[in-house]
């Protein structure tokens, strides 16, 4: 599996990988665009058709606008502009920004909280109250999750512990038959969705690990996503467990059954360049 940095529009993109399952409902809205990219007005139409507006932490409904030139003041930077006006600057014919747009549909509460937490730290950095250009630990953590994050839920805490302890072969191979019933990985980050267009060995998700009851897996996907959105929003807002990059757990995501046909062989998990051992047990 190789990277392909420039990919043309594909109306069937959501069928490329199981990682796109959370997006299926919204991907359908763009399936009519067969030969060319949808425009920003089409993005806004899908947003308007949702009915209930998606709100920022300041109560502003989000809306799609074209990316502008360099910002002239703090409020015109990317994250502050969302926070203060609801305007999401978006590039045309760009997968990264397309997936950024779609993730607001899946995790509206969490995206709003993450955006709000960015603001005071960004103001210190951009307005000269902190070292210019150097992001704080919490900004780095938020960006890692927002770009490349996933949520791993499991009704068996020992499976989550294997992730914390980097016990990849035990998790993905020796306990493979348990994963479908007891563990689920739900993609959050828009950059991770972009990478799934052309997956490659080396893809790693920055994960939040959540224990759940068995009945979680009996719920419809929409109900699961709504529950997760509320839980994540509360966790980020609390500012206790998620404050620095090491609070996220790395996951070599292609080790999950069904994400790479090559992982049907045990030897796949002997690649320690991808399935790296732990430097320390957390």
Residue 124 lies in a domain: yes
Return the percent helix, strand and coil in the chain, to nearest 5.
50, 10, 35
* Residue 259 shares a structural domain with residue 207: yes
Mean pLDDT of 192-221: 97
Same domain, 35 and 91: yes
- Residue pLDDT, tens place only, 202-215: 999 999 999 999 99
Confirm whether 5 is domain-assigned.
no
Paired residues of 63 in beta bridges: 87
Q: 255 and 154 share a domain?
A: yes
Residue 52 resides in a domain:
yes
pLDDT band at 133 (very low <50, low <70, confident <90, very high): low
Judged against a pLDDT cut of 70, whether residue 281 lies above it is answered with: no
- Report the chain's terminal Cα–Cα distance, integer Å: 31
Closest CA to 251 of 179, 117, 149, 131: 149
Average pLDDT, the chain: 93
Mark whether 147 and 194 lie in a shared domain: yes
Beta-bridge partner residues of 61: 55
CA 214 – CA 217 distance, rounded (Å): 6
Do 27 and 123 share a structural domain? yes
Does any domain span residue 247? yes
Run of H or E residues at 271 = none
Asked if the structure places residue 63 within a domain, the reply is yes
b/e per residue 55-68 (b: at least 16 CB within 10 A): ebbeebebbbeeee
The yes-or-no verdict on residue 182 having pLDDT over 50 is: yes
Mean pLDDT score, 171-183? 97
Q: Looking at the structure, tell me whether residues 154 and 208 fall in a common domain.
A: yes
pLDDT, tens digit (0-9, with 9 covering 90-100), for 237-255: 998 899 999 999 999 999 9
CA-to-CA distance for 101 and 235, rounded, in angstroms?
Answer: 22
Q: Is residue 277 part of a domain?
A: no
Residue 131 confidence (pLDDT): 59
Using pLDDT thresholds of 50, 70 and 90, give the confidence band for residue 271.
Answer: very high
Whether residue 6 lies inside any domain: the answer is: no
Residues 121 and 148 in one domain: no
Domain count of the chain?
Answer: 2
For residue 229, give the H/E element and its range.
Answer: helix 221-238
Statement to judge: residues 129 and 202 lie in one domain: no
Q: Give domain status of residue 171, yes or no.
A: yes
Q: Are residues 105 and 152 in the same domain?
A: no
Tell me how long the chain is: 282
- Whether residue 154 contacts residue 111, with contact meaning beta carbons closer than 8 Å, is answered with no
Picking from 105, 134, 163, the residue at the C-terminal end of a domain is 134
- Domain identity same for 152 and 227: yes
- Mean pLDDT across 110-123: 92
Look at residue 3 and tell me whether its pLDDT is greater than 60.
Answer: no
Centre a 10 Å sphere on the Cβ of residue 281 and count the other Cβ atoms it contains.
9
pLDDT of residue 21: 96
What's the average model confidence in pLDDT over 245-266?
97
Rounded Cα distance between 223 and 220, Å, is 5
pLDDT range class, residue 280, cuts 50, 70, 90: low
Is residue 93 located within the same domain as residue 203?
A: no
Q: How does DSSP classify residue 153? A: E
What residue numbers bound the domain in which 241 lies? 143-270
pLDDT at 5 > cutoff 60: no
Tell which of 102, 134, 166 closes a domain.
134
| Domain-terminating residue out of 82, 111, 134 | 134
- For 161, 185, 188, 258, 261, the CA distances from 255, given in Å and listed in that order, are 16, 11, 18, 9, 10
Regarding whether 130 and 30 lie in a shared domain, the answer is: yes
């Amino acid at each position: 599996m190789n990277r392909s940095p420039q990919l043309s529009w594909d109306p069937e993109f959501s069928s490329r990988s199981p990682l796109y399952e959370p997006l299926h409902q919204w991907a359908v809205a763009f399936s009519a665009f067969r030969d060319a990219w949808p425009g920003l007005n089409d993005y806004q139409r899908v947003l308007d058709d949702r009915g209930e507006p998606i709100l920022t932490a300041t109560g502003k409904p989000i809306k799609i606008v074209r990316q502008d030139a360099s910002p002239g003041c703090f409020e015109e930077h990317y994250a502050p502009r969302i926070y203060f006006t609801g305007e999401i600057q978006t590039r045309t014919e760009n997968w990264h920004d397309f997936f950024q747009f779609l993730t607001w549909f899946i995790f509206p509460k969490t995206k709003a909280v993450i955006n709000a937490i960015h603001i005071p730290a960004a103001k210190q950095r951009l307005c000269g109250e902190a070292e210019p250009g150097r992001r704080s630990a919490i900004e780095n953590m938020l960006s890692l999750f927002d770009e490349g994050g996933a949520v791993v839920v499991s009704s068996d805490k020992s499976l989550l512990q294997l992730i914390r302890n980097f016990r990849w072969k035990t998790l993905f191979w020796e306990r493979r038959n348990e994963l479908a019933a007891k563990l689920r990985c739900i993609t959050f980050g828009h950059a991770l969705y972009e990478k799934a267009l052309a997956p490659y060995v080396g893809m790693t998700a920055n994960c939040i690990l959540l224990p759940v009851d068995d009945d979680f897996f009996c719920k419809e996907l929409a109900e699961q996503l709504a529950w997760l959105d509320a839980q994540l929003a509360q966790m980020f807002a609390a500012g206790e467990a998620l404050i620095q990059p090491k609070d996220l757990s790395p996951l070599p995501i292609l080790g999950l059954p069904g994400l790479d046909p090559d992982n049907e062989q045990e030897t796949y998990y002997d690649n320690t360049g991808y399935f790296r051992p732990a430097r320390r047990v957390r």
